[in-house]
Amino acid sequence: MSQSFQAYLQQAKQRADRALNLYVGSFASPYSPADSSEYLARLQQAMQYSLINGGKRVRPVLVYAAANAINPDTSASSNADKVACAVEMIHAYSLIHDDLPAMDDDDLRRGQPTCHKAFDEATAILAGDALQARAFELLTELEECPAETQLTLVKILSTASGQQGMVGGQAIDLGAADQTIDLEHLEIIHRLKTGALIRAAVAMGAILANASTQQLADLDRYAEAIGLAFQVQDDILDIESDTATLGKTQGADQALNKPTYPALLGLGGAKEKARQLHQQALTALEGIGDSAQTLKDLSSYIISRSH
């Protein structure tokens, strides 16, 4: 990873963290009496706890980088922050619900107690629900942005996160534990569970910046490749990394008998797969030109990260 890209990544992450803190914060509502804020404090804390926790912010950075590939001014705008936060809030809610005892039953997330451990199960369920609602609300709050564009963003995010996107992938994934599945089936899980939201992040950043149909198609092929690469690398890290570096329980997938790329392809085969996907991602960006450099660097980062 080049020094300049490392600095970019650090800055983009800090920018996303600031924006998340700002947009998850208390906000006016016609339904909430002014003096009820104390009762909502615990819910608010749980939302913030799960959102502001040292995450890698891959999806927000993808929003910024995709917008930047088309129009740097758009990428620097507060609208890009809101879109980045909306995508990250969907991701954060899915992690909260995924960690629940009835789902993956995980105690650790990014080195910290999971939301239901730090608070309680009921609060964790509600914090996830509220983060999802806030994500869509935030997309209606863009400034000097045509309503058509905002509505398109709502459509993309809701489709990517729903039954035939992220949530559908989680449902298939739960059903696949303890099952023998093949590579095709594993890829369907990841295309939905993590791939859909990563594609949405790239598409949303690009649409905010008024990308052409051709640019959107190129960027979608890029996003599809890095979405899978991200998951392959996750599976590799579950085997190779230790719990301290990973920030979650090492070997958790193996312990749950979850299907993984290394289990199906061997560790070497999984690494080769990640390299191939990285190459596909670079090829997809050829038509975009020099402004896609950050997206290329992000693809390298995804397959070389250690946590």
Cα(275)–Cα(269) distance, integer angstroms: 10
Min dist. Cβ of residue 118 to a second copy (A): 15
Among 8, 49, 64, 93, interactor with a second copy by CB under 8 A: 93
Does the footprint of a second copy cover residue 221 (CB under 8 A)? Answer: no
> Does 59 participate in binding a second copy (rule CB under 8 A)?
no
Contact 236, 261 (CB under 8 A): yes
Binding status of residue 60 toward a second copy by CB under 8 A:
no
**Rounded least distance, CB 143 to a second copy, Å:** 13
CB of 176 to a second copy, least distance (A): 8
42: contact with a second copy by CB under 8 A: yes
Distance of closest approach, residue 289 Cβ to a second copy, in angstroms: 25
Output DSSP code: residue 292: G
Radius of gyration over every alpha carbon of the chain, rounded to an integer in angstroms: 19
In whole angstroms, what is the distance from residue 62 CA to residue 39 CA?
Answer: 36
Instruction: Give the nearer residue to a second copy in terms of CB position, either 35 or 290.
Output: 35
Q: Please give the Cα distance from 176 to 224 (Å, whole number).
A: 22
Please give the residues from 3 up to 32 whose contact with a second copy meets the rule CB under 8 A. 27-32
Extract long-range pairs of 37-42: CB within 8 Å, 24+ residues apart: 42/119, 42/123
Q: Closer to a second copy at the Cβ: 9 or 203? A: 203
Contact flag: residue 214 with a second copy (CB under 8 A): no
Which residues in the 247-306 window bind a second copy by CB under 8 A?
none
Does 147 contact a second copy by CB under 8 A? yes
Give the residue among 81, 197, 100 at the shortest CA–CA distance from 143: 81
What's the distance, CA 67 to chain centroid? Answer: 16
Question: Footprint of a second copy on residues 103-122 (CB under 8 A)?
Answer: 103, 116, 120-122
- Is residue 207 within 8 A of residue 142, CB to CB? The reply is no
Residue in 55, 195, 247, 259 binding a second copy, rule: CB under 8 A: 195
Binding status of residue 129 toward a second copy by CB under 8 A:
yes
Return the number of other C-beta atoms located less than 10 Å from residue 159's C-beta: 14
Q: What pairs with residue 109 in β-bridges?
A: 112
Strand partners, 113: 108
Please select the residue that binds a second copy; options are 2, 3, 33, 268, rule is CB under 8 A.
33
For 36, 180, 195, 262, 295, the CA distances from 265, given in Å and listed in that order, are 55, 14, 20, 5, 27
The contact pattern for a second copy, residues 149-188, with x = CB under 8 A and - = no contact, is: -xxx-xx--xxxxxxxx-xx-xxx-xx---------x--x
Instruction: Tokens for 111, please give them.
Output: 């080195």
Residues that bind a second copy (CB under 8 A): 27-33, 36, 39-40, 42-44, 47, 93-94, 97, 100, 102-103, 116, 120-123, 125-126, 128-130, 132-134, 136-137, 139-141, 146-148, 150-152, 154-155, 158-165, 167-168, 170-172, 174-175, 185, 188, 191-192, 195-196, 199
